[in-house]
């Protein structure tokens, strides 16, 4: 904890130093931005942040659920895995962001299109790691639990689900940065809510620089918050991975 | 009624009768058998077939009078390793079979703790398998199987990964806990087979048509390990194993 605090203070110091050096309204100092951030958070900025959080969290939940479900189904069965592998191999490297115009044509300019696009990108990350985690479950483990009388559903519940949970959470956690970046892009036009809109249109467009920095700060905090929550969840739900004190 | 009746069994992973060809074998209730043979001879496969985890390509397997069609609830299976769920605590692993049978959680915990105490593991009930020693892990696996009160116990190299003293300790424990249970132990450890099993089935190289049976009536008695009879029996089994392999070497050569 103290190390994180120290790192934070160091970043603030660098920012402060740069703003002293540059001496331009384009780079206001941390105290100014901090003040504006606190003020704005109670007003419009808070609303924009909530909208953005809704979109990105919704997309993560959607991608997490669909991606892990499909990954589990494909990964736990060698034949299905062999069948699906070429399709995943071909579609995985496609930059899904280029589907943005298409998605908007089909789903309109509302939240649905934004959530869908972020979810689509996260979905592949989750799908691949969950499939691999499910495929690497030891066959002996499956046999021994089957010998206890487990049905196929119980094998999923007692073996594949817990075996894949760390992969789902890690997959989502390392994709947080990507998710926020795509969020920013989808909010940069054809909308009047969200942090992307706030930063690009409401503040940058009006040269309200301290407010713009407050927006950047809000977006960073959103990403950091999600990262922390996922990290905590992983430690909480997958305690067996980090449980120390060997035999 | 015999406990296990294998009739004209054929099985192979790639070809239908690659491992077993017209193989027949009978186990009576309460008997303790060891299946011993060189690695790759199909002894583990035989165990999977008896557990209902594999289907024969020919012939029939009858367990307790019922034709075997899949895993049977009264059959307990203990594998060398990998049998425990890494994400479940020791007591949850012991209670897994009860959970699968829908026993409520408080009762599961109570019964699992009782078994852990019986095996001297109460102090580690809340630990994960990675935090246990090899011997403790195998005790948990034994408790998980015995808690279901099986009438047939199948063991695949259960103690192969353990050091000599822990291994003997667990062999004693198993001998004491399962004195009445029908048992089939697959092993390549001659001393283990001779200590635990009253009858030994010696397998050669596949395809296996029949095995050689060696009687070992003194098995399971405390202190048997330190008798001359034990040493002689081990030598006899070793000889049978060597013969079983030689014969095949001759066959392959010719």
The CATH number of the domain where B235 resides is what? 3.40.50.300
Q: Are B182 and B140 in a shared domain?
A: no
Q: Are residues B146 and B177 in the same domain?
A: no
Q: Using CB atoms, which residue from A144, A150, A158 is nearest to B83?
A: A144
Both tokens of residue A209?
A: 């620089």
Size of interface A-B (CB pairs under 8 A): 71
> What's the pTM value of the predicted model, to 2 decimals?
0.79
Whether A32 is in a domain gets the answer: no
Domain assignment of residue B104, given as a range: 84-150
Residues B157 and B243 in one domain: yes
Is there a domain that residue A181 lies in? yes
Asked which of B150, B177, B197 is the last residue of a domain, the reply is B150
Report the number of distinct structural domains present in chain A: 1
Asked if residue B207 has a cis previous peptide bond (ω within 30° of 0), the answer is: yes
Give the pLDDT score at B252: 45
Say if residue B175 is in the same domain as residue B226: yes
Which of B150, B178, B206 marks a domain boundary?
Answer: B150
Q: If you average pLDDT over every residue of chain A, what do you get?
A: 89
Q: Any CB–CB contact under 8 A between B175 and chain A?
A: no
With tokens 């060997």, the residue in question is: A246
Tokens describing residue B33:
């058998």
Q: Is residue B1 a part of any domain in this protein?
A: no
Choose the closest CB to A149 out of B73, B87, B128: B73
Residues B96 and B220 in one domain: no
- What token pair was written down for A230? 């996922």
**Across the beta sheet with B75-78, what order do the strands follow?**
B75-78, B152-156, B182-187, B32-36, B199-202, B212-215
B contacts of A160 (beta carbons < 8 Å): none
Q: ipTM > 0.90?
A: no
Closest B-chain CA to A157: B100
Q: Are residues B125 and B242 in the same domain?
A: no
**Read out DSSP for chain A?**
-HHHHHHHHHHHHHHHHHHHHH-STTS--HHHHHHHHHHHHTTHHHHHHHHHHHHHHHHHHHHHHHHHHHHHHHHT-HHHHHHHHHHHHHHTTS-GGGGHHHHHHHH-SSHHHHHHHHHHHHHHHHHHHHHHHHHTS-HHHHHHHHHTT--HHHHIIIIIHHHHHHHHHHHHHHTHHHHHHHHHHHTSSS-S-SHHHIIIIIIITTT-HHHHHHHHHHHHHHHHHHHHHHHHHHHHHTHHHH-----
Query: Are residues B207 and B126 located together in one domain of the fold?
Result: no
From the candidates A136, A140, A144, A153, which should be mutated to test the interface with B, based on the most B CB atoms within 10 A?
A: A144
B76 belongs to a structural domain: no
| Structural domain that includes position A130 | 52-237
Q: Judge whether residue B70 has pLDDT over 90.
A: no
Q: Which residue of A has its CA nearest to B75?
A: A147
Residue A211 belongs to a domain? yes
Q: Are B178 and B149 in contact (CB under 8 A)?
A: no
**Measured between CA atoms, how close is B132 to chain A, in angstroms?**
5
B62 inside domain: no
What is residue B82's predicted lDDT score, i.e. its pLDDT? 63
Write the CATH number for A116: 1.10.3720.10
Higher pLDDT, A104 or B253: A104
pLDDT digits (tens, 9 = 90+) for A22-59: 888 888 989 999 999 998 888 889 999 999 999 999 99
Q: What is the pLDDT of residue B220?
A: 75
Q: Mean pLDDT across the stretch A192-219?
A: 89
* Structural domain contains residue B139: yes
Nearest CB to B53; choose among A143, A159, A238: A143
Final residue before a domain boundary, out of B117, B132, B150: B150
* Range from A11-15, A107-111, B171-175, B250-254 carrying the lowest mean pLDDT: B250-254
- Residue B247: which pLDDT band, with cuts at 50, 70 and 90? low
A69 vs A118: CA distance, rounded Å:
18
B51, A246: Cβ pair inside 8 Å? no
Tokens encoding B135: 């011997």
In the predicted structure, residue B164 carries a pLDDT above the cut 60: yes
How far is it, in rounded angstroms, from Cα A179 to Cα A134? 24
Say how many domains are in chain B: 2
Instruction: Give the torsion sign (CA, B67, B68, B73, B75).
Output: positive
Q: Which residues of B touch A146 (CB under 8 A)?
A: 53, 71
At residue A179's C-alpha, the angle toward residues A178 and A184, to 5°, is 95
Phi, psi at B3, each rounded to 5°? -75, -45
Q: Which residues of B touch A145 (CB under 8 A)?
A: 85, 96, 100
pLDDT value of residue A160: 92
Residue A38 lies in a domain: no
Any domain includes A170: yes
- Does B156 lie in the same domain as B141? no
What is the pLDDT, as a whole number, of residue B186?
92
pLDDT at position B249, please?
A: 47
Q: What is the pLDDT of residues A157-188, one digit of tens each?
A: 999 999 999 999 999 998 999 999 999 999 98
Whether residue A11 is predicted with pLDDT greater than 70 in this model: the reply is: yes
Of the candidates A129, A57, A135, the residue with the CA atom closest to the CA atom of residue A92 = A129
Q: Do A143 and B79 touch (CB under 8 A)?
A: yes
Mean pLDDT of A119-137: 92
């Amino acid at each position: 904890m103290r190390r994180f605090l120290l790192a934070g203070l160091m970043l603030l110091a660098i920012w402060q130093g740069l703003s002293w050096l540059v001496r331009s309204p384009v780079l206001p100092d941390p105290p100014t931005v901090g003040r504006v951030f606190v003020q704005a958070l109670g007003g419009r900025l808070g609303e924009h942040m909530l909208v953005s959080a809704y979109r990105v969290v919704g997309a993560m939940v959607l991608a997490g659920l669909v991606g892990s479900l499909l990954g589990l189904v494909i990964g736990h069965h060698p034949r299905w895995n062999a069948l699906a592998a070429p399709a995943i191999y071909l579609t995985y490297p496609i930059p899904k962001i280029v589907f943005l115009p298409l998605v908007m044509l089909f789903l309109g300019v509302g939240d649905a299109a934004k959530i869908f696009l972020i979810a689509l990108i996260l979905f592949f990350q989750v799908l691949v790691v969950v499939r691999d985690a499910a495929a690497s479950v030891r066959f002996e483990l499956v046999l021994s639990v089957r010998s206890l009388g487990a049905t196929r559903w119980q094998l999923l519940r007692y073996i594949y689900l817990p075996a894949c949970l760390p992969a789902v959470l890690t997959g989502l956690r390392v994709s947080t940065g990507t998710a926020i970046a795509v969020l920013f892009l989808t909010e940069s036009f054809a909308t009047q809510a969200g942090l992307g809109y706030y930063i690009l249109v409401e503040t940058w467009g009006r040269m309200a620089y301290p407010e713009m920095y407050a927006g950047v700060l809000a977006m960073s905090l959103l990403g950091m918050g999600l990262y922390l929550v996922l990290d905590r969840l992983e430690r909480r739900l997958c305690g067996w991975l980090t449980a120390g004190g060997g035999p | 009624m015999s406990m296990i009746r294998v009739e004209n069994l054929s099985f192979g992973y790639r070809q239908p009768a690659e491992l077993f060809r017209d193989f027949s074998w009978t186990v009576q209730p309460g008997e303790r058998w060891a299946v011993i043979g060189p690695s790759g001879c199909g002894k583990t496969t035989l165990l999977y077939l008896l557990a209902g985890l594999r289907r024969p390509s020919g012939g029939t397997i009858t367990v307790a009078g019922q034709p075997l069609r899949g895993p049977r609830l009264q059959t307990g299976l203990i594998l060398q390793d990998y049998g425990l769920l890494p994400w479940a605590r020791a007591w949850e692993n012991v209670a897994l079979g009860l959970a699968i049978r829908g026993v409520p959680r408080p009762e599961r915990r109570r019964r699992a703790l009782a078994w852990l105490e019986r095996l001297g593991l109460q102090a580690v009930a809340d630990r994960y398998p990675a935090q246990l020693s090899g011997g403790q892990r195998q005790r948990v696996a034994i408790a998980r199987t015995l808690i279901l009160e099986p009438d047939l116990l199948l063991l695949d190299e259960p103690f192969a990964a353990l050091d000599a003293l822990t291994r003997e300790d667990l062999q004693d424990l198993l001998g004491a806990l399962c004195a009445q249970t029908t048992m089939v132990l697959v092993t390549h450890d001659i001393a283990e087979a001779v200590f635990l099993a009253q009858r030994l089935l010696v397998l050669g190289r596949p395809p296996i048509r029949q095995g050689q049976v060696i009687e070992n009536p003194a098995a399971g008695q405390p202190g048997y390990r330190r008798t001359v009879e034990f040493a002689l029996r081990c030598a006899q089994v070793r000889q049978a194993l060597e013969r079983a392999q030689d014969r095949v070497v001759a066959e392959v050569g010719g």
